[in-house]
Structures are given as structure tokens and as C-alpha cells.
Copies of this chain bind each other. A is one copy, B any other.
Amino acid sequence: MKVLILGGDGFCGWPTSLHLSQCGHDVVIVDNLSRRFIDVELEVESLTPIRPIHERLAVWKEHTGKEIGFVNLDLAHDYDRLLDLLMAERPDAVVNFAEQRAAPYSMRSPKAKRYTVDNNISGNHNLLCAIVESGLDIAVVHLGTMGVYGYGWTGTAPIPEGYLTVTVPTPDGELEREILHPANPGSVYHMTKTLDQLLFAFYAKNDGIRITDLHQGIVWGTQTPETALDERLINRFDYDGDYGTVLNRFIMQAAIGHPLTVHGTGGQTRAFIHIRDTVRCIEIALNNPPDCGDQVSVFNQVTETHRVRDLAKLISGLTGADVAYLPNPRKEAEENELNVTRERFLALGLDPTTLSEGLLEETRNIGAKYADRADRTKIVARSVWKAGMEVSPDL
């Protein structure tokens, strides 16, 4: 099928684009390179050396003979060009990764909060609006987040895949209703994904757009079989306090001899998924769109859950790294349980990559190989959720 990958130059978008191309799909990346601009703004770079997008695409063609298109377009501000693109390409599906995706970045400044809301909501709404205006039957796959559910709302009860059956008391007796799981986002970034859910619910109901929303856990790992083909295809590896994801940060910290940075008690339980499984999940979702006029199809895109301090202990045990307990810049529960239903992808054939030592080893090789590219002043997380919260100095 023909697929547009919005945000196809980013951490999830790039390996997904290669994977879908490898699977035989006709892929066009649409990206305004915003993630690279944010690197410039934050004065930090991916630990792995990222090549310019056109070089990436040329190398991919050199290795596979497969062509991936590229369009530089700002989804939130280039509506007319987006519509023209849909009419010209007539894709079967669009995958939307084109959202600012870091919770700490979304809280670091008023400007970043506003950018996150404007970029994510206007961009996603432009996509839905343009699909309606095009008159084409284009399926949408969107990357949501486990964070739409909040943590701890139901204690140890399993979080369902998007929808919750509840009982409402009424004067005439009890009503049973299936509702979108109540939203309880923990940052402006997570909040935008809860807004996206309401955009999707409306456009599915009113216009019959076929939408799949994937509530993903925290991604770890770097490479997929496709990005590992050539160093010039390598995927991003973020380790800084804003964009680095917790497990990759621990791996990198251990590799460069930095203490593992646990912010708060480490009692936070989080859901995880390897980047190799992310790209497989996207392909499964593309192959299994909902019917027109149905409700939005929601998957929990996670493979396991861990407590942050347990991950720190695991890496520390493997590497001998120290663990540093630092002030938590987030407003969140010190400890939470997390039990996530994840039947849908398993039923459709996902064979999860588990957190085995072998994979940690592989990721450590990324950390060690590129250790000289690390900037130790960028590691501690310092984007606070509210002015005046305590932050740690560099370690």
C-alpha cells in the first residue's frame, strides 16, 4: 500500500519508514525536520550520528533498490500543500508521528508548552480536515501514549485498550456504557494526546475516517534490522534530560561512567517497548484498520512494565554503575502500580522483544561506541513541572 509517514525523520518515524519500505509498501516521508531544529535549540545531538535526510534516503536506495519519497512540509502550518499532497499521492494510509513527543520538553518553558499544543493539535487536526476535504478513503494510524490513561487510576486493575465499561446509576436503574478511558495526562505533551483522542472520536463519528490510535509505552533500543544495514542509516539515540527515554539513558550513562539518574524514588512503574516492536506494531495496525464509521481502534502498544528503580538496579548489576537518586522535576506520584492490557497486538501476531541481557548488551554497544559524542552537562533532567521545583546540579 502507499503510506505517508508524517514525522518520518524522527526516532520512531525513521525506522518505521524503512521497515514499511522493506515490507514492500510505497513510502513517502513528510517531515519539516523539526526534531533536528530542536537539537540545535537544546544544543545537544543524538548520541548516534544522524545523516541528513536526503543522504539517509540515498543510502537506503543504494542498499535495497527501494525508493522512499520525501516532502518537507509543516503539518501544522502548510494545510494547502498537505491537501495537494494527499490529492497527488492518494495514499491508502497516513501514519502520524509528527507530534512533539517529549514530556520534559513540553514543560520546559511557556514557549515549549505552546509549541507542543499548537504543533500537535493544529497538525493533527489539519490532517483530519484535509482527509475529509480530499474525499479520499485514507486510513490514519496515530502514535498515542500510555500517558493518556494516567497512572494509578484503577490501582492494580488492568488498563483496557482505550475503552472502559462503566456502570452509571440513574433514577431508573443502572446503565452500562462503554466510554473512552478517562484522561489523566501528566504533562502538556501527554495532554495533547488526550486532545487528539477527542479529535479522532469526532472525525470517526462525523466523517467515518478509519483511525487507529496506538497508546505506546516508553521506547527503548536504537536499531532495527533496517537501520543496522549501514551506519549512515542509524537511528537517533537521545540521552539528554528532555528527549532521552529512561532505559536508553541508563544504558548510555553506564557506558560513559555516569551515575544512573533516578529522579524521585524510582517507584514509578512504566510500560516499555523496543523500537523493533514499534515498527512491527505500526505495520500490523496498517494491515488491520477499523471499518468506516466504527469507533476509533485503540491498541496498547507495550510489551512489558517495570519500576524505574528496578531498571536502574538491573543495569547497575550488569555494569557496576552507581545509582543516583535526584530531585524529581515532575509532579507525579512517588510510587504507582501499572497493569496494562495488551491482547490486541499479541492476537495479531506480535512476538515481543523482551528486556533480555543480550539486548542490553547490544544497546550498550551503542552507548560505548559513541561515548565520545556525549555531553555530560545535558544528562540531568531539569525541565521542571512548576516554577521553583528543585533540580540537581551536574553529577
A positions within 8 Å CB-CB of B: 79, 83, 110, 113-114, 117-118, 121-122, 125-126, 129-130, 132-133, 135, 153-158, 164-172, 175, 177, 179-180, 182-183, 185, 188, 191, 194-195, 198-199, 201-202, 206-207, 331, 385-387
Are B386 and A207 in contact, with the CB atoms below 8 A? yes
Are A117 and B122 in contact, with the CB atoms below 8 A? yes
Given contacts A117-B122, A118-B118, A154-B168, 18 further A-B contacts (CB under 8 A): A110-B129, A113-B129, A117-B125, A121-B121, A135-B387, A154-B170, A155-B170, A155-B172, A157-B168, A157-B170, A158-B170, A166-B168, A167-B169, A182-B182, A185-B202, A191-B199, A206-B331, A206-B385
This protein's copies in its complex: 2
Are B172 and A157 in contact, with the CB atoms below 8 A? yes
Q: Which residues of B contact A198 (CB under 8 A)?
A: 183, 185, 191, 194-195, 198
Chain B nearest CB from A348 CB (Å) reads: 25
Chain B nearest CB from A134 CB (Å) reads: 10
Pick the contact of A157 from B165, B171, B194, B195 — CB < 8 Å? B171
Q: Which residues of B contact A129 (CB under 8 A)?
A: 110, 113-114
Which 7 residue pairs of A and B lie closest in terms of their CB atoms, listed nearest first?
A157-B170, A166-B166, A167-B167, A179-B182, A110-B133, A191-B202, A195-B195
Most buried by B among A133, A171, A177, A191: A191
